Amino acid sequence: MNWRSKLKAHWRSALAGAGLCVVLGVLLLFVGGWPVYLSYDLLFLLPKPPPPDSAVIIYLDDQSFKELGQTNTANWDRNFHARLLDRLTEDQSRLIVFDVVFSEPGTPEANTNLARAIERNGKVVLAAALNHLARAQIFNKQALLPLPEFQEAAAGWGIAEFDMADSGPGRVARRYYETDHHPSLFRAAATVAGMRSARQGDRWLNYYGPAITLPNLSFTEVPAQPSGYFRDKFVFVGARPTTLRAKDEADQFRTPYTLWRSEFTPARLCPVRSAMEAAVSPSS
């Protein structure tokens, strides 16, 4: 067999393989269900590129709860949040997203300090939540918003909840909750960052990696970071206690990594991760 014949044989094999892949892909689109999910899950066995170094998550974790003497996330002393914001303002962070709902009354002095710190920074986005109310044959969702003084001071705020399209490992975000008057945290963060946000619709989630893959710090580790550490970074602040406290809720959900590594991810990180994706991805 001469080289021309060998070349033709290789081309025929390549075309046959490509055709088979196309046929299988079309079949998967029509069949749906577990074959599609399995093909998605298997992708997470492959090596992933390094996570972006332009973002960092600051956790209200067990270490910070203990060292700062806090009882729960909702009633965390807002003077601590104000001091954190002062540091991030000094370092000139690009965007700060709080995945903490400041809806509790708090104390007047701490509220004033936090509102001033939010306004001084100018790039703070706050989270709202949905209060699920159930009555006889009626299920309603009411927005649980930050206090008015925080809404006025912030650059934006949005609802930090997703509707997952599948009941297994979190693969597809069907929609993020928002209305004309209540934007999503995802969209609010993208808007403040000057990025274009995606439209509503099913979105396959591309996880950067297992839980705690993204650069992260305990709340109490922030003062030890060198000056300028947070410069031009997208900073996300959220709770991650391993021991539930009063008024805190279980906050874990399954991802494809749960199948392979038995690891769970904090559920609130789903909208935060998507907000981050919107912020750190180039506009197109």
What is the reported pLDDT for 82? 98
Determine contact, residues 148/156, Cβ cutoff 8 Å: no
For residues 227-256, one letter each, b for 16 or more C-beta atoms within 10 angstroms of the residue's C-beta and e for the rest, the string is eeebeebbbbbbbbbeeeeeebeebbbbbb
Mean pLDDT of 12-35: 58
Q: What is the pLDDT of residues 164-202, one digit of tens each?
A: 555 555 555 545 666 667 888 888 888 898 876 655 555
Q: What percent of the chain has pLDDT over 90?
A: 36
The edge-to-edge listing of strands for the beta sheet with 203-204 is: 162-164, 172-176, 203-204
Query: Which of these, 116, 117, 61, 57, lies nearest to 85 by C-alpha position?
Result: 117
- Alpha helix stretches (DSSP H) within 134-174: 148-153
**In whole angstroms, what is the distance from residue 271 CA to residue 263 CA?**
18
In our burial notation (b when 16+ CB lie closer than 10 A, e otherwise), range 178-205 reads beeeebbbbbbbbbbbebebeeeeebeb
